[in-house]
Each structure stands twice: as structure tokens, then as C-alpha cells.
Amino acid sequence: MSKLLVILFFCIFLISVNAQETYVNPVDGKSYTADSWMIHKPQTQEPQQTGPIQMSGMVLLTEEHVIENNLNIHDLVAFIDRVKLAVEQISSTNEEGELLLQFELNSSENFNLRMSYAGDLSDTFLKSIFDGAKKVESINTKTELVRFQIKFSVRGSGV
């Protein structure tokens, strides 16, 4: 009986030690591992989104303390709001799918933007999304790179 308890304890310990979660980035194929991924929700409820393109989430690919040490959080939120507005203003007719825009903010130049998608999204539509997002005024970090993704759902008005 005591051997069984020792084995059970050892198994539980191994499970808790190896309980790291991995996020495989569809934009660049890199894997990000953390002991746990935190989900943050806004403190106030936003009004229901109604357009054909809607922001559906975010993924921070940089640790929070690095973000806090390199950016003013209010500036980051304003930047994300400008991206959201620029993307949601793109007209969509029959497009349907999911978009993932990956931003890399740095200390010395305009942000880098990469994009991934799933679904029935035309090249013309994807180019208009990319071009619209690239027009957003950049913000710069103090020293370190800050990387994050913004997810959008596309449900065209003709769908």
C-alpha cells in the first residue's frame, strides 16, 4: 500500500512539473511555452460588435514585465484601438474566415507586421487588410522587442 502511495505521489508530481502549456504560432511556426497562459478580460463591457470584421482576441508573445518596462500601457492600448479601427473599416462582401495579425514593436523603426489566415479570404481582401494595418501610426519600445497578435473574425455581409 505504501509503495502505491509513493508511486501515485511521484506521478502527480511529474504531471504538475510537466504541466507547461505550449502555443504554436501559426504566423511563424514558433512555439511559446509557459507554465500557464493568463486570460485578461476588459474591466468594462464593450458594446456588441456588429460589423463584418470583428476583433476576437489577442495573444501576447512577450512577457508582461518586458512589455511594462518598454511601453506605456496606455500607448499600447491606443495603438491596438487604431489597428482595430483600421481593420474593421475594410469592406467585406463574401469573405469569411479568421485573421491573425502579428505585430513586432521595436525601439528604432516602424513596426513589423506579419499575417496568417484561415478560411475563404481573397488575396485582394488580405492585401487591403495588410495595407490598412500598415498605415497605423507606429509606437516604439524603449529597448526590447514587444511582440503580440490581434485576432479578427470575418463574417462578410453577403454570407
Using the structure block, give the residue that is written with the C-alpha cell 493568463: 38
The per-residue pLDDT for 52 is 87
Instruction: State the average pLDDT over residues 132-148.
Output: 95
DSSP of 71-91: S-HHHHHHHHHHHHHHHHTS-
Crossing angle for the helix pair 123-134 and 73-88, nearest 10 degrees?
150
CA dihedral for 118, 121, 124, 129, sign (positive or negative): negative
Beta carbons of 76 and 111 less than 8 angstroms apart: no
Q: Is the pLDDT of residue 35 over 90?
A: no
The per-residue pLDDT for 13 is 41
pLDDT tens, 55-101?
Answer: 988 889 998 899 999 999 999 999 999 999 999 888 766 889 999 99
Q: Which residues contact 67 (CB under 8 A, 6 or more apart)?
A: 60, 73, 76, 146
112 has which bridge partners?
Answer: 104
pLDDT band (50, 70, 90) for residue 24:
confident
